[in-house]
Structure 1
Amino acid sequence: MRHEIKAQAYGPMGEPMAKAVSTCVHCGFCLSACPTYQELGTETDSPRGRIILMKEVLEGKLPLETAAPHLDACLGCLACVPACPSEVQYGDLISPFRALHQGQQKRTIGSRIKRMLAQRTLPFPKRFRLAARTGRLAKPLRSLLPAPLRVMLELLPDSLPAAQPLKSHYPAIGQTRGRVAMLRGCAQSVLDPDINVATIEVLNRNGIEVLVPPEQVCCGALSWHVGNLRQAQDFARRNLDAFPADVDAIVTNAAGCGSGMHEYPMILKGTPSEPTAVDFAGRVCDVSVYLAKLDRLEPIPACRPGLAIAYHDACHLSNAQGVRTEPRQLLSCIPGIQLREIADGHLCCGSAGTYNIDQPEIAASLGQQKAAGVIDTQAQIVAMGNIGCLTQIAKHLQLAGSAIEVRHTMQILRDAYAGRLGHELG
């Protein structure tokens, strides 16, 4: 009864939160799966510790200020979910909790400015591109800026690829086997627009017609995971209207975006849009899942003999969406490659949305460890399905002096179809 009363007190999202709290039996299986527990080694920085903290705050027994540092340190990677024998839906607790309490949390001026800038630029490609260019000009002055703003400047790439605007329609090549609508993404369309181009080429080559709805906006994942519920709901509603219903699927090629769109029923819980959100989320899938379900793929030419590709599991693909075998299955269709696994592959690389802005020390340590794991595979290429992971791992491989190439799974398949996979590596 206590959980039922608490659920009522916290509105539509209260019931999933209460269920997550009550399901946890504090067994500790999550400890070895949690990257921040491995880093910090304290119970309050473990999933079960954070569940207790959130429970105490929700019941009014603990001030938010006491719990906040430990909850802020959570990556939201959801590695604890597949590790949990009780099947605690940790994502149904941490994100709603942040949505309910972020407005009450006291933060420094620098931290508030940093969060405001991230939320007003990253979800808007034109703003993000302008901010990145402006920020590069300010890099020589970063020593004069507050620490939170210095972190943001240091994360900016030295250069940006040219924009690659997308058409609204890409017909299938040959016989049409399917029809999908694609999310183009925000940060990805600025940092590596070729991922979308490669995704469309692979789909078209396999007989899939691709629509890119021009009215679409940010998926809302970044806003949702930092507790900006109003912005997340606005993005979600606009995408519900933007994407057509007469397609086989709504495909994504960024793990964080796909996970965010699967969470639309929670983001819009208790609103008139909730039933539409449930139907919408059921039609969203990662592009690797859609391709793997096809009866067959168009034959792929053999690559350079002995080419080794390591595969990195993006957290919001493997943990949040349960997508692990499909990308590996697709890569294994390339004749001649050696597919290699990364040790401790379940551990997050430290990107996690804005985490490397909010928690730069932990993010850097996790990035270094992930880069070391990739290097140990002795692969020439590392594949993945998320732009945040791609930029984080590429940065730390470069810092480690490694020449391993970082590519999206769709870019690798596109290059394989073109007969140029691995040849440029010498």
Structure 2
Amino acid sequence: MSTAVDQPAIPLIPFSNQDRPSSEIINTCVHCGLCLSACPTYRETGLETASPRGRIYLMKAVDEGRIGLESAVFQEQMSLCLNCRACEAACPSGVQYGLILEASRAQIEQARHAPPPALPARPLWQRALRGAVFGALFNDMRLFRGFATSMALYQQSGIQWLARRSGALHLLGLAETERLLPTLSGQATVPMGQIYPADGPRRYSVALLTGCIMSSAFSHVHAATIRVLQKNGCEVILPPDQGCCGALHTHGGDLDGGRALARRNIAAFSGLGVDAIIVNAAGCGSTMKEYAHLLHDDPEWYVRAEAFVAMVKDVHEFLAGIELNTRDLRPLNLRVTYQEPCHLAHAQRISGQPRNLLQAIPGLELIEMAESALCCGSAGVYNITQPEMAAALGVRKVRNALSTGARVIATANPGCALQIVGELQRRGEHVQVHYIVELLDAAYIQE
């Protein structure tokens, strides 16, 4: 007879000692249910198992040996979760859900490589893809920039037009994934130790994370960020040897890969003597602020990670915490609505600061959308691995944004921007999507 969870296989595959989810965090949950209304997957499905409370129940069942990692329901729900962290913001008990979710995903991946009893290995094509993406592209920014250049050539040479018109993408099952590809110019922000002086007297010295996707697909956002910081008396440094923040690795169950990238960035930003390390992508900032937890078992790096984390500031957090230069802001007569990235609003608890910056721009009318902090469905590579749920959440987000009548949707994360632009294009809507720093940059008088 089946259990209340699902039919277990014999023998059960337990959590291993390495990177196991904390029993203490799991048992902090009192199953009150206040997280349910905040959870996007529960809102869409109405299923208890697709809620934070339900997923913690599954983790607890594995932790106590009642089911194992081979449970199909356990694997399905660890994958279906967006890791948006909205449940953490709603939780009265302070359950650190993101930490136990990432650890649970790591347990599943580690069990695929463990001696018997172990989970079946991923299909060869999946192993090859994960190796190419996690092991190569995101570990070497030269490779990543080379790949981005090839994608720019694909777009600009006419091959993309041909691939779309011919139906080849549909035959390969890649049409929806390819639609999310941003427009690439082939230009990239390459950190080589550049120092951009403050506009006027220097008030602060800051270092900027250039990252991977941001440096290649959103280099124009980096340029805007640098100019806005300069306008606010900041000297901006781009340290060499930095790279990907490791967010996709840690969210995808590759904690060792995330640790390697964390060590690289900690080393790259050490000894600069800056006042802050600035991040303009919500997902990157959230991960970087958790480097100390990621390296808590590494005595050599843990202390360095704590010092690093203390310096990390989201760009909106930083600008809202100083005396903002409003003297040089000229009016922008725009109707704007703000889509809150999950890892800014929930993981970093930064919600008021972006709105304050938007409202500081003369002439700009900020119109609040319904469910502004509900996940848009991007969540790293979620819109590739869980396309149906991602699409439903993307539709919901864009419908709420369009209902405001705003002609600009402001955001602060690359995945959110790509997800929203993709849904707008599918609908044939000509609403613009911009980062908040882009709007600030447009408002500042350029000499």
The 2-side partners of 1:132 and 1:103 are apart by: 32
Q: Is the 8 A contact 2:82 2:377 kept in 1?
A: yes
Q: What is the 5 A alignment of 1:197-276?
A: 197-245=223-271, 246-272=273-299, 273-276=301-304
1: CA distance between counterparts of 2:81 and 2:393?
A: 13
Aligned to 1:181, the other structure's residue is in SS state strand
- 2:138 and 2:429 map into 1 onto residues whose CA distance is 28
Matched, 1:74 2:81: yes
Q: Could you give the per-residue CA deviations for residues 370-404 of structure 1, whole angstroms, max 9, x where no partner exists?
A: 11111011112111111110111111122222221
Are 1:166 and 1:212, in contact at CA under 8 Å, matched by a contact in 2?
A: yes
The aligned residue for residue 391 of structure 1 is 418
Aligned length: 408
Q: Which moved more, 1:319-328 or 1:238-247?
A: 238-247
Residue aligning to 2:314? 286
Alignment partner, residue 3 of structure 1: none
Cα distance in 2 between the residues matched to 1:127 and 1:224: 24
Q: In structure 1, what residue type is equivalent to 2:145?
A: K
Distance change >3 Å, CA 192–CA 270, structure 1 → 2: same
3-state SS in 1 of match to 2:292: helix
1:33 touches 1:346 (CA, 8 Å); kept in 2?
Answer: no
Cα 1:258–1:379 change in 2 (3 A) is same
Partner of 2:67, secondary structure, is coil
Residue 115 of structure 1 and its aligned partner are, at CA, apart by: 3.5
CA distance in structure 2 between the aligned counterparts of 1:330 and 1:92, rounded to whole angstroms: 31
**2:178 paired residue among 148, 153, 165:** 153
**Once the 2 structures are TM-superposed, how far is the Cα of residue 135 of structure 1 from its aligned partner?**
6.7
- Say which of 35, 40, 47 aligns to 2:45: 40
SS of equivalent residue, structure 1 residue 341:
coil
Contact 2:19 2:103 in 1 (8 A): yes
**Structure 1 position 163, deviation (Å):** 3.0
Partner of 2:3: none
Aligned to 2:68: 63
Letter of the 1:233 counterpart: R
Q: CA deviation at 1:312?
A: 1.0
Counterpart position of 2:34: 29
Contact 1:381 1:406 survives alignment (8 Å) = yes
The 1-side partners of 2:103 and 2:297 are apart by: 13
CA contact (8 A) 1:128 1:187 kept: no
2:382 aligns with: 355
- Per-residue deviation at 1:150? 5.8
Q: Which residue of the partner structure matches residue 345 of structure 2?
A: 318
Q: 1:374 to 1:117 in 2, by over 3 A?
A: farther
The SS at the match of 1:65 is coil
Instruction: Read off the aligned partner of 1:132 and give its amino acid letter.
Output: M
Query: Is residue 189 from structure 1 mapped to residue 208 from structure 2 by the alignment?
Result: no
CA distance in 1, matches of 2:183, 2:353: 33
Report if the CA contact (8 A) 1:13-1:266 is conserved.
Answer: no
Aligned 8 A contact 2:341 2:412 in 1: yes
CA shift in 2, pair 1:185/1:316, >3 Å: same
Q: Secondary structure at the match of 1:77?
A: coil
Deviation at 1:40, TM superposition (A): 2.2
% identical aligned pairs: 42
CA distance in 2, matches of 1:97, 1:55: 11
Q: Residue 103 of structure 1 aligns with which residue?
A: 110
Cα distance 1:304–1:280, how it changes in 2: closer, same or farther (>3 A)? Answer: closer
Match of 2:7 in 1: none
* Residue matched to 2:137: 121
- Contact kept in structure 2, 1:311 and 1:384, CA below 8 Å: yes
Is there any run of 5+ residues in structure 2 with no aligned partner, and where?
1-14, 113-119
Is residue 378 of structure 1 aligned with residue 394 of structure 2?
no
Give the aligned residue type for 2:52.
P
Which SS does the other structure have where 1:348 is aligned? coil
Distance 1:135 1:25 in 2: 52
> Which amino acid is the alignment partner of residue 88 of structure 2?
V
SS in 1 for 2:200: coil
TM-score, normalised via structure 2 length: 0.85
CA separation of 1:398 and 1:152: change in aligned 2, threshold 3 A? closer
The letter for the 1-side match of 2:386 is Q
How far does the alpha carbon of each residue in 1:324-372 deviate from its partner, in whole angstroms, 9 at most, with x for none?
1111111111111111111011210011111011111111111111111
Distance 2:147 2:22 in 1: 33
Q: Distance in 2 between matches of 1:131 and 1:121?
A: 13
RMSD: 2.3
Which residue type is aligned with residue 401 of structure 2?
Answer: V
Structure 1: state its 5+ residue gaps. Answer: 1-8, 420-426
**CA, structure 1 residues 152+115, in 2 after alignment: closer, same or farther (shift >3 Å)?**
farther
After superposition, the C-alpha distances for 1:162-196 in whole angstroms (9 at most, x for unaligned) are 33445621111110000111101211222221000
Q: Is the 8 A contact 1:135 1:156 kept in 2?
A: no
CA contact (8 A) 2:215 2:222 kept: yes
Partner of 1:201, secondary structure, is helix
